[in-house]
Structure 1
Amino acid sequence: MARSKLIIFDCDGVLVDSEPLAARAYERVYEKHGMSGVGADIIAQCVGMKQSDIIVRIRELTGHQFPEHADDDIWAETKILFTKELKPTHGIMPFLDSLAVERCVASSSSVERINHSLGITGLARFFGSSIYSSSMVRRGKPAPDIFLHAAEKMGANPADCVVIEDSPFGIEGAVAAGMTAIGYTGGGHTYPEHGARLTAYGAAATCANWNEVGLQLAKLGFHTEGIGAAAG
């Protein structure tokens, strides 16, 4: 029997403030292999994609062909930066503490990266084994596959799911899955047009902090007792 409500969280840029660190890792690794010019402006156009799709997109944007044998270098460099510097997004810990709703993670990152990110930031306890990666499905975001997979595994109907995403690709995928999408713009990689862009891709609302997310969830009929006060 399907549960009544489910909140699906993206990981990078939503639960953890990882995108600036990930961009730095890509830039370092590409430079290591003799390919310059892969800066934050390039990586910003890849936010929300899984690694294999990011590599393809960087090639399209810069002409750089990343060597297949070096794929593991990207996660190795990213892991070093995450271990030293990764933080949860501001206010997410009290928000999750006060959230009396079924939840899970659906991310374009690998299972190893998701677990590492949640573990070092202290967020793993909020999700247990309810972790879903694009590596588990055929197509990454903006396809709806990861969201539909997560809903099925959690026993929820897509129409009863709310997805919290920071990227246009994630919003697009959530909408394609028949779910309500909330755009989150509270990460360190946000920019002035961020909210408007997420709205253009189908976000029902955009929120700059977790207090605003709580208010939007209340409007959608989720039980949000104490969320606003805790996450402000």
Structure 2
Amino acid sequence: MARPRPIIFDCDGVLVDSEPLAARAYERVYEKHGMPGVNTSVIAQCIGMKQSDIIARIKDLTGHQFPAAADGDIWAETKVLFSQELKPTPGITAFLEALAGDRCVASSSSVERINHSLAVTGLARFFGDAIYSSSMVKNGKPAPDIFLFAADKIGANPVDCIVIEDSPFGIQGAIAAGMTAIGYTGGGHTYAEHAARLTAAGADFVCADWQEVSRQLARFGVPA
């Protein structure tokens, strides 16, 4: 019997419902440093990026240049909020318990943030050491680097991999890596045009919950 196709999960907004909390952290920290106006609508345009790219994008959108010496403040504020409020996305725990085959995490977040997110939500046990961050590669999403790196680490052919992503940048990176891309819109940061934007980015399917993801994966012979 053939092995199920490997699944590559984004972390923020896919495994954990972190994006609203992360947006709140950015807003608080920029305000603390005298740079108001970094609100939810601004952060929404940065979802899927690694921190250095988010800071650059915020500068493009608002003119605010965050001081490099204070970069650590962003994670410090985010960690407090995650420790207090972070939850797994609805239904993901049962989904992972039923999932067969290889899986890993490929995220734009730092290794520390990924590990903390999975620990506080009880999801770390499903991935072991198969945790990969854009900090490990040259280019962040929408470049394919992190997905190709993750596939190599788990010994998978990129064409066999199925990526589950919530951001257009992540979908673009998965498609550029030659992988099947499933868009996920079940996080707390979803919005009216979310599914349409994921489809426009190249998603093969877009799912609003983990039950629908299971149904789509069944089409590829992946029990979930």
Which residue identity is paired with 2:68?
E
Question: Which residue number in structure 1 is paired with residue 193 of structure 2?
Answer: 193
Question: The residue matched to 1:174 in structure 2 has which SS?
Answer: helix
- TM score, norm. by length of structure 2: 0.98
Cα distance in structure 2, aligned partners of 1:110 and 1:210: 25
CA distance in 1, matches of 2:132, 2:113: 11
Percent of aligned pairs with the same amino acid: 76
Q: Is 2:150 the partner of 1:150?
A: yes
4+ residue runs over 3 A deviation: none
Q: Counterpart of 2:78 in 1: which secondary structure?
A: helix
How many Å separate the matches in 2 of 1:161 and 1:200? 20
Cα distance in 1 for partners of 2:107, 2:31 equals 26
Counterpart Cα distance in 1 of 2:219 and 2:212? 11
SS in structure 2 at match of 1:164: strand
User: 1:23–1:43: 8 Å Cα contact kept in structure 2?
Assistant: yes
Per-residue CA distance 1:164-207 (angstroms, 9 max, x = gap): 00000000000000000000000000001100110000000000
Distance 1:118 1:217 in 2: 23
* Partner SS, residue 43 of structure 1: helix
CA RMSD of aligned residues (A): 0.8
> What amino acid is the match of 1:198?
L
1:106-160 deviation per Cα after TM superposition (whole angstroms, max 9, x unaligned): 0000000000000000000000000000000000000000000000000000000
Report SS of the residue matched to 1:84: helix
Q: Which residue of 2 aligns with 1:97?
A: 97
8 Å CA contact 1:16–1:121 kept in 2: the answer is yes
CA shift for structure 1 position 4: 5.9
Unaligned runs of 5+ in 2: none
Per the normalisation by structure 1, the TM-score is 0.95
User: Residues of 2 paired with 1:13 and 1:45: CA distance?
Assistant: 14
Tell me how far apart the structure 1 counterparts of residues 210 and 5 of structure 2 sit (CA, whole Å). Answer: 19
Give 1:40 deviation, angstroms: 0.4
Partner Cα separation in structure 2 for residue 106 and residue 94 of structure 1: 20
2:164 counterpart residue number: 164
Query: Aligned partners of 1:205, 1:175: CA distance in 2, in Å?
Result: 12
**Unmatched 5+ stretches in structure 1:** 228-232
Q: How many residues align?
A: 222
1:67 corresponds in structure 2 to 67
SS of the residue corresponding to residue 76 of structure 2 reads helix
Query: What residue number does 1:230 align with?
Result: none
Matched residue SS, 2:44: helix
